[in-house]
Amino acid sequence: MSDKRKDKKEGKGLGIGALLSNINPEIEQPVASGVNEIDLEHIEVNPYQPRVDFDPVALAELADSIRQHGLIQPITVRRLGGEKYQLISGERRFRACKLAGLTAVPAFVREANDEEMMEMALIENIQRQDLNAIEVAITYKRLMEEFSLTQELVAQRVGKKRETVTNYLRLLKLPETIQLALQQGKISMGHARALVGIGDFALQMGVFAEIIEKDLSVRQVEQLAQRYREAAVAPQGKAAPAIKLPLAHQDLQKRYAHWLSTRVILRRAPTGKGQMVIHFQSDDDLNRILDLLGNGEE
């Protein structure tokens, strides 16, 4: 095995500290052993930034703090050439400095190619405490897809258990409506994990509607999910007979469940006859659904 291939293989399990220290010593450029003052106009944002949403209120508060005390934690950049730099990490601080009216910012300067920069940015963001669960899950997925990593290797890179990585990745199987609710804090990670365990799209939407309507606890959702799973099994322990819906009908069931934000079930007999069942949780919920359906008015 060549030295180059050996180095690449041995680097598979490296954490963020090792990645950040993996610079080219032959290039005589400032590195992280010192802090440089760099003009803000010479820094461009990181195109690989995993985070796209920045709370404007929190950003304004950070800007106020920077005006009073300066930037305590430097950002990290890489040199592009000449006086041009690119952010590796610290975009929130970078934006706040601009908002605070600063013209220059303290920064560590690293040497990194595009791949190293992207991985550092992803891992640096995943270790933050303020990422929501979906942002974490998306970052894990990007690490796997863009660097051909297994869940085990991702876990090693970010210092987490493999089960933790798996649990986050499973959240991406949830309907978009539920993922958005998780991002917005309307439901917790515990709620989302219980919904993932249900599996069926229509059932997930039905239980989700109950969570919002009744403000269910995680424990209540787990119990409800368990009852739904048990109801799908015949008393003798054998799976209840069912006619498999054609793909077109399955798609229709999913689209209506998503549109109405509730559980929708299509049943179809071999003759082609069937029924559509739309669930509601209360009179208010029924009125909401009727409004969406147009109350039967022409």
Residue 230, pLDDT score: 65
Q: State how far Cα 140 lies from the chain centre.
A: 8
Which of 146, 110, 112, 139 is CA-nearest to residue 51?
A: 139
Q: In what order do the strands lie in the sheet with 75-81?
A: 36-39, 104-110, 75-81, 84-89, 43-44
Chain centre to alpha carbon of residue 65: 29
Alpha carbon distance, N-terminus to C-terminus of the chain: 74
Q: Which class does domain 10-131 fall in?
A: alpha beta
Other Cβ atoms closer than 10 A to 136: 22
Return the H-helix or E-strand segment holding 81: strand 75-81
> Among 161, 155, 153, 158, which Cα is nearest to 8's?
153
Residue 118 structure tokens: 């992207």
pLDDT confidence of residue 16: 41
Strands 274-278 and 264-268, bridge-based pairing = antiparallel
Question: 61 an active-site residue?
Answer: no
What are the domain boundaries of the chain? Answer: 10-131, 133-173, 174-237+244-288
Cα 285 to Cα 282: distance, rounded to the nearest angstrom: 5
pLDDT score for 51: 66
Nearest to 56 by CA among 104, 90, 88, 99: 99
Residue 190: partners with Cβ closer than 8 Å, 6 or more residues away: 218, 221
pLDDT, one tens digit for every residue, the chain (298 residues): 444 444 444 444 444 444 444 433 333 333 444 688 999 999 998 776 666 677 889 899 999 999 999 998 899 898 888 889 998 888 889 999 999 999 999 999 988 777 777 777 777 767 665 678 898 898 889 888 888 889 999 888 888 899 999 999 999 999 888 999 999 899 999 999 999 988 777 778 878 888 988 899 999 988 887 776 665 554 444 544 445 666 777 778 888 888 888 888 887 766 667 788 888 877 888 888 888 887 655 4
Given 44, 91, 116, 145, which residue is catalytic? Answer: 91
Q: Residue 143 and residue 165: Cα distance in Å, rounded?
A: 11
Predicted pLDDT of residue 166: 95
Radius of gyration of the chain (CA): 25
